[in-house]
Structure 1
Amino acid sequence: MSARKVVVTQRFFDEATIDYLRHNGCDVVIAELPAGKADGDVPESTLRDWLQDAKGWIVGHARVTRELLLALPQLKIVSRRGVGYERVDVAAIRDLGRVATIAAGGNDATVADQTIGMMLALGRRFREGQAGIARGSWAIPLGTDLYRKTVGVIGLGRIGRSVVKRLAAFECKVLVHAPREDADLAARLGFEYVDLDAVLAQSDYLTLHAPLTPQTRFLIRDETIRAMKPTAFVINTARGGLVEDRHLLNALQNQRLAGAGLDVFMSESDSGYQSVTQELASLPNVIAQPHSGASTREGLDRTNMIAARCVVAVLNGENPPSECVVADGRTTVTR
């Protein structure tokens, strides 16, 4: 094994990216994940075994703790094939002189497409129509348009902006609630900034694209759901924890919302919510997916390559693209 061992703890890692790493002098090791499990389900002791002698780690949802980093003094870079980094101990990365990166820009279009798809599927009641045909019924479930509806967007990062661009084709009125406002961007993309109360009260579709922070945790809960139209749909393709899933389930069961599109769930980080996830997924007016928003062939190929390029840059003593850097302990520059 060479001095540039790179361990990948993700599925669907394409040959072109493996070839790129090898061409740049890396020995690539693809970890054998247990069936039906992601690297976030793997014990830290197993991760430590896999990562012995590794200089680079391309990671999915595993927790990157200070203890793990201390056990791997040779590890130079933790490169996420994704854009969230709440499971990475950023302070430890910085303190220990390591680098942490994300695959910024790789999955914007992919997740935005899924978001629009969920809006259409919910409004047109695709799941209910198909279930009826499977039972032998041709009764038509009356749906609603996305065309010219009011869509609220909470969070305006790369994915949020991609969603806004797509909504223009549906001639939607787009309301954005975000911590920072950019008047030029609003004029260019044709949306309006509003406060949280307005986006809740006016939205026919409310889509979440905010990071999970102490301030955004359980942003959608009983109090905020009561402020919404009972005909509104909630879409969460961002992070479990933005929505209090128990409150959402209760609202859907009591017709206080029209439906929900969910790609992320509280149960991903709290097993006590597992039954809530199952109940949500069983409802006819819920579109549920297994955190697959970024998982298309094209989207994963893009994020694989961005993650790999970050690894090669650090192993070469260079700087990854600034938009990808979460923390760089070599220079104390942080994102």
Structure 2
Amino acid sequence: MNSPIRKVVVTQKFFDEEAIALLESKGCEVDIATLPEGKGEADLDVDDICQLLAGAGGWIVGHARVTREVLEALPDLAIISRRGVGYEKVDTVAAEALGKVVTIAAGGNNDSVADQVIGMMISLGRRYREAQIAMNAGKWNILVGTELFRKTVGIIGFGRIGRSLAQRLQGFDAEILVCTPRLASADIDSFGLKQVDFETLLERSDYISVHAPLTPETRHMIDADALARMKPSAAIINTARGGLVDDRALLAALQAGRILGAGLDVFESEADPTMMPVTEALIDLPNVIAAPHSGASTHEALQRTNMIAAQCVVDVLDGKVPSMGQCVADGRK
């Protein structure tokens, strides 16, 4: 069996010198791709990708769609290393069938996303965006807000980010409710938290933060009915994936004043451009704190995920099991 080709193409922005140095120290040729003019990584089509990755054995990728067609057209490609924690944009079944490895940079962005959630909660409760809009209009009247201290916070999903968030919330003396199908009650009890059903979490929480993967089962888990069960004084935070929240239903609830507000780092329009008018209407609301899917984009988190992605590439090209991150598909025989 021939040794894997050690050319590594990086199509993500902000890939730092330390990660490049790691790859080069292990005999890899690193190509920081120049994307076609006017295109971001998510806009790359099959032809674009094939031109950029010609002769590559490793690919460090973020938002591009890695389809079976792409994988079949790149026979030299041994590893697709996502600098992120989701893998729904990668056809992992095709990767397995075609003998390729897919990894994610699990553990690299927990802290940055958890920090973002805390910031959104405080900003919504204290009405910072509303106050600044009013001040810009010359109205300096005080808007009375609410504290995060000793509030009830519901966490949907209790993976790495959910746990990092729970650790931070304990500093606010918050009551933390957890709803997750993936962990036994004992796992959550060991954190000193309460596991509840979905309906209880919706009805009791002052803040709800969604940290579930996007699957057919979780799509629109926060729909019009779920929003109607929330307290009028409660806020919803989604930093996980667009599609977990029904954005149309959320917009209607916010416009009607049925909930306090929303913190959104992800939107349905990311995968469905026809939803952009809904996104634009959401981010225009004074009680919405919005970001452009940037929860993992701190200097520190990018350095961590770059190194994890790079180490995964090195390990696979060396014929090893990845020592960092998480391997989500391994088609090697």
Bin the TM-score by the shorter chain. over 0.9
Of 258-267 and 182-191, deviating more is 182-191
Match of 2:276 in 1: 274
The amino acid of 1:165's aligned partner reads Q
Amino acid of the structure 2 residue aligned with 1:289: A
Distance 1:263 1:7 in 2: 28
Separation of aligned partners in 2, 1:56 and 1:151 = 41
- Number of the residue aligned with 2:129: 127
Task: Tell me how far apart the structure 2 counterparts of residues 222 and 288 of structure 1 sit (CA, whole Å).
Answer: 20
Aligned residues: 330
After the TM superposition, which residues 69-88 of structure 1 pair with which residues of structure 2 at under 5 Å, given as runs? Answer: 69-88=71-90
Amino acid at match of 2:241: R
Distance 1:38 1:301 in 2: 21
Which of 195, 217, 222 is 2:197 aligned to?
195
In structure 2, what is the equivalent of residue 255 of structure 1? 257
1:301 matches 2:318: no
Does the residue aligned with 1:248 lie in a helix, a strand or coil?
helix
1:22 equivalent to 2:21? Answer: no
Taking structure 1 as the reference length, what is the TM-score of the superposition?
0.96
* Letter aligned with residue 231 of structure 2: K
Q: CA offsets, 1:179-222, max 9 Å, x none? A: 13344443342210000110111111000000001110000111
What's the CA shift for 1:319?
0.9
Partner of 1:51: 53
C-alpha displacement at 1:323, in angstroms?
A: 5.3
The Cα of 1:226 is off from its aligned counterpart by 1.0
- 3-state SS in 2 of match to 1:189: coil
Indicate how the Cα distance of structure 1 residues 34 and 263 shifts in structure 2: closer, same or farther if over 3 A, else same: farther
1:79–1:307 Cα contact (<8 Å) kept: yes
Match of 2:152 among 146, 150, 153: 150
Deviation for aligned residue 1:314: 0.6
User: Residue 101 of structure 1 contacts residue 325 of structure 1 at CA under 8 Å; is this kept in 2?
Assistant: yes
* C-alpha RMSD over aligned residues: 1.4
Aligned position for 2:214: 212
Could you say which residue in structure 2 is the equivalent of 1:163?
A: 165
CA distance in 2, matches of 1:37, 1:202: 44
Aligned residue identity for 2:254: L
| DSSP 3-state at the match of 1:151 | strand
Provide the rounded CA distance (Å) in 1 between the counterparts of 2:204 and 2:188. Answer: 18
Contact 2:84 2:104 survives alignment (8 Å): yes
Out of 310, 319, 322, the residue aligned to residue 321 of structure 2 is: 319
Q: Distance in 1 between matches of 2:123 and 2:286?
A: 11
> Partner letter of residue 35 of structure 2?
L
Q: Give yes or no for contact 2:81–2:313 (8 Å, CA) kept in 1.
A: yes
| Matches of 1:66 and 1:181, distance apart in 2 | 32
Say which is worse superposed, 114-123 or 322-331, in terms of deviation.
Answer: 322-331
Name the structure 2 match of 1:103.
105
Distance (whole Å) between structure 2 residues aligned to residue 189 and residue 125 of structure 1: 31
* Structure 2: distance between partners of 1:36 and 1:252: 34
Q: Segments of 4+ in structure 1 off by > 4 A?
A: 34-37
The alpha-carbon distance between structure 1 residues 286 and 34, as it changes in their structure 2 partners (threshold 3 A), is farther
Q: Distance in 1 between matches of 2:48 and 2:151?
A: 49
**What residue is the counterpart of 1:235 in the other structure?**
237
1:1-20 pair list within 5 angstroms: 3-20=5-22
Q: Which residue of 2 aligns with 1:41?
A: 43
Distance 2:147 2:38 in 1: 36
Partner letter of residue 102 of structure 1?
I
Indicate conservation of the 8 Å contact 1:10/1:38, yes or no: no
Would the aligned equivalents of 1:181 and 1:193 in 2 still touch at CA under 8 Å? Answer: no
1:114-150 superposed Cα distances (whole Å, 9 cap, x missing partner): 0111001110111111222222221111111111001
1:328 aligns with 2:333: no
CA, structure 1 residues 68+172, in 2 after alignment: closer, same or farther (shift >3 Å)?
same
User: For the residues of structure 1 that align with 2:304 and 2:327, how far apart are their CA atoms?
Assistant: 17
Name the amino acid aligned to 2:41. Answer: D
Match for 1:204: what amino acid? Answer: D
Residue ranges of structure 1 left out of the alignment (5+ in a row): none
Change in CA separation of 1:322 and 1:30 when aligned onto 2, cut-off 3 Å: closer
2:33 is aligned to: 31
Q: Distance in 2 between matches of 1:194 and 1:36?
A: 47
